[in-house]
């Protein structure tokens, strides 16, 4: 059962992620630095989350100036940072699959059907491969890891 909104609690007393869009709008227009900092923290924590989308909605209805322009920049940079971290994580995972397989970079790339240059780009984290290619890499790594492991007595 949902807790009634009344109970004497203002939306601003709750974590920013639970504020209605009207409270975000009010905070952008009438808030101070401490309120804006709370919004920034929420955006950085979840750049594609509810608060970021609410700020985008509020900003889409007016010319971005002052704090609005700054918050728009926070959203853009937070998303770029998140995406860079995700590419780096994907690259670490690809490196682990490659190492586990025991194959050379060239052989691994050939067996997953991509040019060696493209595979190097995935390993560097410049770009991430499609999900279907990640699955292909895992299957290849699994197959070769299984072949490399010592066989149990039989």
Element holding 62 (H helix, E strand)? none
Model confidence pLDDT, tens digit, residues 134-149: 999 999 999 998 887 6
Delimit the domains of the chain by residue range: 11-62, 84-147
Of 44, 48, 70, 43, the C-alpha closest to 59 is 70
Predicted confidence (pLDDT) per residue in 4-29, tens digit: 554 556 767 889 999 999 999 989 88
CB of 96 within 8 A of CB of 66? Answer: no
Pull the structure tokens for residue 48: 């594609």
pLDDT band at 150 (very low <50, low <70, confident <90, very high): low
Nearest to 38 by CA among 48, 28, 61: 28
Q: Left (φ > 0), alpha (ψ -120 to 50) or beta: where does 125 sit? A: left
pLDDT at 121 over 50: yes
Question: What is residue 124's predicted lDDT score, i.e. its pLDDT?
Answer: 97
* pLDDT (tens digit per residue) in 68-105: 889 999 999 999 999 999 999 999 999 999 999 999 99
Question: In CATH, what number does 84-147 get?
Answer: 1.10.260
Q: What is the pLDDT confidence band of residue 61, given thresholds at 50, 70 and 90? A: confident
Name the average pLDDT for the chain: 89
For 2-149, where are the alpha helices, taking DSSP H only?
21-30, 33-45, 50-59, 67-101, 105-112, 116-124, 131-148
């Amino acid at each position: 059962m949902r807790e009634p909104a009344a109970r004497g609690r203002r939306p601003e007393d709750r974590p920013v992620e639970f504020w209605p869009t009207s409270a975000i709008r009010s905070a952008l227009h009438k808030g101070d630095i401490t309120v804006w900092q709370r919004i920034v923290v929420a955006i950085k924590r979840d750049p594609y989350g509810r608060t970021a989308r609410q700020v985008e909605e509020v900003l889409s209805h007016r010319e971005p100036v002052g704090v609005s322009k700054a918050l728009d920049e926070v959203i853009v940079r937070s998303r770029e940072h998140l995406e860079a971290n995700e590419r780096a994580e994907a690259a670490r995972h690809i490196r682990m699959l490659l190492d586990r397989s025991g194959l050379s970079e060239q052989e691994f790339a050939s067996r997953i059907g991509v040019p060696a240059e493209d595979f190097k780009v995935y390993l560097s984290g410049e770009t991430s491969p499609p999900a279907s290619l990640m699955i292909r890499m895992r299957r290849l790594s699994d197959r070769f890891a299984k072949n490399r492991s010592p066989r149990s007595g039989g």
